[in-house]
């Protein structure tokens, strides 16, 4: 029986995430016929708006950010189901009116008391909102379901994450807590397991006998934008590595799960995170590079240095770039370095995984015409989505010229392809009660353990931060990190 009917209650209804991602995602799900018939959205925020005023704001955000453009008929049908409620997050009285309003909508839309509470708010409000929902018996699960969606950051270290988790667990069962890592909603992340486990070609060679190193990079050209406040306390390590980068790594390195159920997949991902070799005081300087962007040029335009950005301290030593080397200490991956790199204000925007295969013995062509390029498998995540395989072939002609050639599958290059946004998939899954693309508590826990090992090693104070020019590939130290192992970053675009 379909049990997806629900009210989607978005705390932080006037925030950036709601405008840029959530409202357009709801609209696109509606256009694609993927919203339940019995559905309404209530945006909750601290500003005072009427429903009509809020619908104008929502309309604007769909116009600006929807991948499907704007269809006026569809919008007017959907917008009637969008409401706004003013709530001061600490004010118990506000929850009384919110509850009454939601109950009234339940009747109007026959949503049966099912709720998605989406906390698109600053992390300091997670706890108080959960407590208020509890105190007002708005998360009781009496014959209905109530799920909570938590945006990152889930804590800022293991201790704070544990505390938050404990608070949430007092209100919601683990199976009703949806911790968002929006990268998991991206098409190509869902494709990694398919590429690995639906092809006889890759799985047999997916191990330390054939793979030389793995490079995972999420490079951005944007700066810190208007998020200086948050970013100063986070930095690239907490902002990107703890979440997106380690999720990518676990999908690349996991063992085949026993089946495709949510927990079987998460069990295997957790094993990878548990096998990560922690960084120590002794290894930090040779395995981790921190950088911060200085002034430079992006797309031909001059940009300011990180320290000159709004709400950033002029002597900040927060990293906007981090590159690191780690190992997955299990039988499959023993000895294979995993290099991670992420940064803001870099030369190009791209997220990808590069698997570099080992060379063949130095005889035959390798002896006569070497050194030859290694075989590479690239999984493009964005902006291009696809898979690219590089191998060696003879260049036509009388002479033996051996050159690297590429087989390139691009799934979003055609004009007709319009991949759903990550948030569409994730919202859809929350309504269906499928948490496979969300992180389970132990995934968060082991990611923080790894990240904390780096933060603690940094605390020692011996590490340095290298300023890099905006619009380049980051600090030179990041190249050295690979060079000393005989490798280089593959900045294939
Ligand atoms: C967010 C980070 O989680 O991911 C941002 O907080 C980052 O700093 C963003 O810019 C990148 O996401 P995407 O989908 O644009 O690659």
- Ligand-binding annotation for 450, yes or no, is no
The residues carrying an active-site annotation are 244
Bridge partners of 303, per DSSP, are 296
What pLDDT, on the 0 to 100 scale, is given for residue 142? 80
Question: Which residues surround ligand 1 with Cβ inside 6 Å?
Answer: 152, 220, 239, 351
Closest by CA position to 268, among listed 139, 150, 143, 442: 442
- Ligand-binding annotation for 69, yes or no, is no
**Tell me: the pLDDT tens digits for 423-444?**
999 999 999 999 999 999 999 9
**Tell me: the pLDDT tens digits for 335-354?**
999 999 999 999 999 999 99
Fold of 6-151: Rossmann fold (3.40.50)
Whether ipTM tops 0.95, in short, is yes
Band (pLDDT 50/70/90 cuts) for residue 107 is very high
The CA-CA-CA angle for residues 249, 235, 295, to 5°, reads: 115
For 175-191, what is the mean pLDDT?
Answer: 95
- Within the chain, which residue ranges are assigned CATH 3.30.360.10? 184-421+440-484
Token couple for 452: 């904390």
- Ligand-binding annotation for 335, yes or no, is no
Q: Out of 22, 150, 220, give the residue to mutate to test ligand 1, the one with the largest number of ligand atoms within 8 Å of its CB.
A: 220
- Within the chain, which residue ranges are assigned CATH 3.40.50.720? 6-151
Band (pLDDT 50/70/90 cuts) for residue 1 is low
Distance 290 CA to ligand 1 centre (A): 18
Distance 102 CA to ligand 1 centre (A): 32
Record the pTM.
0.95
- Ligand-binding annotation for 395, yes or no, is no
CATH number of 184-421+440-484: 3.30.360.10
For 6-13, what is the mean pLDDT?
Answer: 97
Distance 52 CA to ligand 1 centre (A): 31
Angle, helices 246-253/262-275, rounded to nearest 10 degrees: 100
CB atoms within 10 A of CB 61: 18
Which atom belonging to ligand 1 lies closest to the Cα atom of 344? 10
Band (pLDDT 50/70/90 cuts) for residue 459 is confident
User: What is the CA 283 to chain-centroid distance, rounded?
Assistant: 27
Q: What number of residues does the chain have?
A: 493
Distance 466 CA to ligand 1 centre (A): 22
């Amino acid at each position: 029986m379909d049990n997806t009917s629900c009210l989607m209650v978005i705390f932080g209804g006037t925030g950036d995430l709601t405008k840029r991602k959530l409202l357009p995602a709801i609209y696109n799900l509606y256009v694609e016929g993927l919203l339940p018939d019995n559905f309404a959205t209530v945006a909750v925020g601290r500003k005072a708006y009427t429903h009509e005023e809020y619908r104008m704001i929502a309309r604007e955000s769909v116009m600006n950010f929807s991948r499907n453009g704007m269809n006026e008929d569809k919008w007017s049908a959907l917008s009637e189901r969008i409401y706004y409620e003013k709530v001061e997050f600490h004010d118990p009285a506000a929850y009384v009116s919110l509850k009454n309003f939601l109950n009234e909508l339940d009747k109007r839309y026959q949503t049966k008391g099912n709720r998605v509470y989406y906390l698109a708010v600053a992390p300091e409000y997670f706890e108080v909102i959960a407590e208020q929902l509890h105190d007002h018996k708005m998360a009781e699960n009496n014959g209905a379901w109530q799920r909570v969606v938590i945006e990152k950051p889930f804590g800022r270290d293991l201790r704070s994450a544990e505390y938050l988790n404990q608070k949430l667990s007092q209100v919601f069962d683990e199976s009703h807590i949806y911790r968002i890592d929006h990268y998991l909603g991206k098409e190509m992340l869902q494709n990694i397991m398919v590429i690995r486990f639906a092809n006889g070609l890759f799985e047999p060679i997916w191990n330390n006998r054939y793979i030389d190193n793995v490079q995972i990079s999420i490079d951005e050209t944007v700066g810190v934008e208007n998020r200086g406040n948050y970013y100063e306390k986070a930095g690239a390590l907490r902002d990107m590595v703890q979440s997106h980068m380690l999720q990518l790594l676990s999908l690349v390195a996991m063992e085949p799960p026993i089946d495709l159920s949510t927990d079987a997949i998460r069990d295997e991902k957790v094993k990878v995170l548990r096998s990560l070799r922690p960084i120590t005081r002794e290894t930090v300087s040779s395995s981790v590079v921190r950088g911060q962007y200085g002034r430079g040029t992006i797309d031909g335009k001059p940009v300011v240095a990180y320290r000159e950005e709004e709400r950033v301290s002029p002597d900040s030593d927060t990293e906007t770039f981090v590159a690191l080397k780690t190992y997955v200490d299990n039988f499959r991956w023993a000895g294979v370095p995993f290099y991670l790199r992420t940064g803001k204000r870099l030369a190009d925007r791209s997220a990808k995984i590069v698997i570099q295969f080992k060379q063949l013995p130095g005889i035959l062509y390798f002896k006569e015409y070497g050194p030859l390029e290694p075989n590479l498998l690239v999984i493009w995540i964005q902006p291009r989505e696809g898979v690219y395989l590089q191998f060696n072939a003879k260049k036509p002609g009388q002479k033996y010229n051996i050159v690297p050639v590429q087989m390139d599958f691009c799934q979003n290059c055609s004009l007709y392809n319009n991949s759903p946004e990550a948030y569409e998939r994730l919202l859809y899954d929350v309504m269906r009660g499928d948490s496979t693309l969300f992180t389970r508590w132990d995934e968060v826990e082991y990611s923080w353990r790894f990240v904390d090992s780096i933060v603690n090693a940094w605390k020692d104070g011996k590490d340095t931060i290298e300023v890099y020019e905006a619009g380049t590939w980051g600090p030179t130290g990041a190249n050295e990190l690979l060079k000393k192992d005989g490798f280089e970053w593959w900045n294939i675009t």
